[in-house]
Amino acid sequence: MRPINWCPPIELSSAEEKVVKRIKRAKLFTFLRHHRHQLFDDTFQEELAQLFKDSSVGQAPIYPAQLALATILQAYTDVSDDEVIEVLLMDRRWQLVLDCLDCEQAPFGKGTFVRFRAMLIAKDFDRRLIELTVEMAQQKGGFSARHLRAALDSSPLWGAARVEDTYNLLGHALRKALDIIAHDQGRDLKEVATEAGAPWVADSSLKAALDLDWDDPAAKTQALSTILQALNQMEGLLQQSPQATPQAVQAATENMAVARQIQQQDVEVEPDGSPKLRKGTAKDRRITIEDAQMRHGRKSRKQRFDGYKRHVLRDLDGGLVRAVGLTPANLPEATVTDDIIADLKDQSVTLRELHIDRAYLASHLVKHRAEDLTIFCKAWPVRNGDRFTKQAFTLDWSAQRIHCPNGVRLPFEPGKVVRFPAETCADCPLQQQCTTSKKGRSVSIHPDEQLFAELRQRQVTPAGRAQLRQRVQVEHSLAQVSQWQGDKARYHSQRKNLFDLRRIAVVHNLHVIARMPDPPPGEIAA
Ligand code: SF4
| Cα 197-202-208 angle, rounded to 5 deg | 100
**Last residue of one domain, picked from the residues 433, 450, 467:** 450
- pLDDT over threshold 90, residue 514: yes
Nearest to 232 by CA among 277, 187, 177: 177
Q: Give tens-digit pLDDT for 126-160.
A: 999 999 999 999 888 767 778 999 999 999 999 99
- C-alpha of residue 379 to centroid of ligand 1, in Å: 24
Give the Cα separation of 76 and 514 in Å (integer): 15
Q: Is the CB of 258 under 6 A from ligand 1?
A: no
Q: Are residues 200 and 270 in the same domain?
A: yes
Say yes or no to pLDDT of 335 above 80. yes
- pLDDT value of residue 334: 92
- Which residues are paired to 310 by β-bridges? 155, 326
Could you tell me if residue 27 is inside a domain?
A: yes
The verdict on 182 and 95 lying in the same domain is: no
Q: Give tens-digit pLDDT for 314-324.
A: 999 999 999 99
Q: What percent of the chain has pLDDT over 70?
A: 96
Whether 436 maps to a domain, the answer reads yes
Q: Per the domain annotation, does 97 fall within a domain?
A: yes
Distance CA 432, CA 425 (A): 10
CA distance 292 to 273: 29
Contacts of 467 (CB under 8 A, 6+ apart): 355, 376, 458
Q: What pLDDT is recorded for position 526?
A: 41
Encode pLDDT of 65-104 as tens digits.
999 999 999 999 999 999 999 999 999 999 999 999 989 8
What does the alpha-carbon distance between residue 196 and residue 219 come to, in Å, rounded to a whole number?
22
Q: Does the residue 9 lie in any domain? A: no
Its pTM stands at: 0.90
Is the separation of the CB atoms in 84 and 110 below 8 Å? yes
The per-residue pLDDT for 59 is: 53
Q: How far apart are CA 436 and CA 113, in angstroms?
A: 70
* Range of weakest confidence among 12-26, 47-61, 80-94: 47-61
Domain assignment of residue 319, yes or no: no
The residue-averaged pLDDT of 23-34 equals 93
What is the reported pLDDT for 243?
Answer: 76
Which of the listed residues 277, 304, 325 is the one where a domain comes to its end? 277
CA 446 to ligand 1 centroid distance, Å: 20
- From the number of C-beta atoms within 10 Å of its C-beta (0-12, 13-18, 19+), residue 213 rates as exposed
How far is Cα 398 from Cα 364, in angstroms, rounded to an integer? 25
pLDDT at 61: 66
* Residues 182 and 254 reside in one and the same domain: yes
For residue 73, which of 59, 86, 58 has the smallest C-alpha distance?
86
Considering the domain architecture, whether residues 90 and 171 belong to the same structural domain is answered as no
182 and 106, same domain (yes or no): no
Average pLDDT of every residue of the chain: 90
Q: Is the C-beta atom of 431 inside 6 A of ligand 1?
A: yes
Q: 113 and 212, same structural domain?
A: no
357, 301, 323: which is closest to 475 by C-alpha? Answer: 357
Query: Which helix (H) or strand (E) element contains residue 401?
Result: strand 401-403
Q: Which among 434, 398, 397 is positioned nearest to 419, based on CA atoms?
A: 434
Number of neighbouring beta carbons within 10 Å of residue 204: 8
Read off the pLDDT of residues 201-214 as tens digits, 9 standing for 90 and up. 998 888 888 888 88
Q: Measure the CA–CA gap between 45 and 83, rounded to whole angstroms.
A: 26
Does residue 56 carry a pLDDT above 80?
no
Helix (H, G, I), strand (E, B) or coil at 414: coil
Considering the domain architecture, whether residues 103 and 22 belong to the same structural domain is answered as yes
> Residue 476's closest CA among 500, 512, 502?
512
Residue 329 has pLDDT above 60, yes or no: yes
Is any atom of ligand 1 closer than 6 Å to the C-beta of 393? no
Judge contact between 139 and 525, C-beta under 8 A.
yes
What is d(CA 135, CA 347) in angstroms, rounded to the nearest whole number? 9
How remote is the CA of residue 480 from the centroid of ligand 1, in Å?
Answer: 52
Q: Are 81 and 173 in the same domain? A: no
- Counting residues of the chain whose pLDDT is more than 90, the rounded percentage is 67
Q: Indicate the number of domains in the chain.
A: 3
Instruction: Measure the CA–CA gap between 264 and 285, rounded to whole angstroms.
Output: 10
Query: What 3-state DSSP class applies to 148?
Result: strand
The pLDDT value given to residue 235: 86
Residue 150 covered by a domain: no
The whole-angstrom separation of Cα 275 and Cα 222 is: 9
| pLDDT band (50, 70, 90) for residue 301 | confident
- Cα of 14 vs centre of ligand 1, distance in Å, is 83
Q: Among 409, 425, 427, 444, which residue has the most ligand 1 atoms within 8 Å of its CB, making it the best to mutate?
A: 425
CA of 434 from ligand 1 middle (Å) equals: 6
Question: Within this chain, do residues 174 and 110 fall inside the same structural domain, yes or no?
Answer: no
**Who contacts 500 (Cβ-Cβ below 8 Å, separation ≥6)?**
75, 485, 489, 490, 491
CA 449–ligand 1 middle distance (angstroms): 20
pLDDT of 524 above 70:
no
In a domain, 420, yes or no: yes
φ and ψ at residue 331, rounded to 5 degrees: -85, 145
Q: Is 8 exposed, middle or buried (0-12, 13-18, 19+ CB in 10 A)?
A: middle
What's the pLDDT at 525? 46
- Out of 389, 428, 436, 439, mutate this one to test ligand 1's pocket (max ligand atoms within 8 Å of CB): namely 428
Among the candidates 248, 277, 306, a domain finishes at 277
Residue 250 located in a structural domain: yes
For the stretch 227-256, pLDDT in tens is 999 999 888 888 776 677 889 889 999 999
Q: In terms of residue numbers, what domain contains 425?
A: 390-450
Lowest mean pLDDT among 382-391, 485-494, 504-513: 382-391
Least Cα distance to 312 among 152, 425, 523, 511 occurs for: 152
User: What confidence tier does 57 reach under pLDDT thresholds 50, 70, 90?
Assistant: low
Q: Are strands 350-355 and 147-158 parallel, antiparallel or unpaired?
A: parallel
Q: Which tens digits make up the pLDDT trace of 173-219?
A: 999 999 999 999 898 999 989 988 889 999 888 888 888 888 888 88
Order across the sheet with 401-403: list the strands: 394-396, 401-403, 409-411
Nearest CA-CA partner of 395 in 456, 319, 308 = 456
User: What kind and span of H or E run contains 176?
Assistant: helix 166-185
Residue 75 CA to residue 515 CA, distance in Å, equals 20
Which of 432, 434, 436, 437 best tests ligand 1's pocket when mutated (most atoms within 8 Å of CB)?
434
Domain identity same for 25 and 96: yes
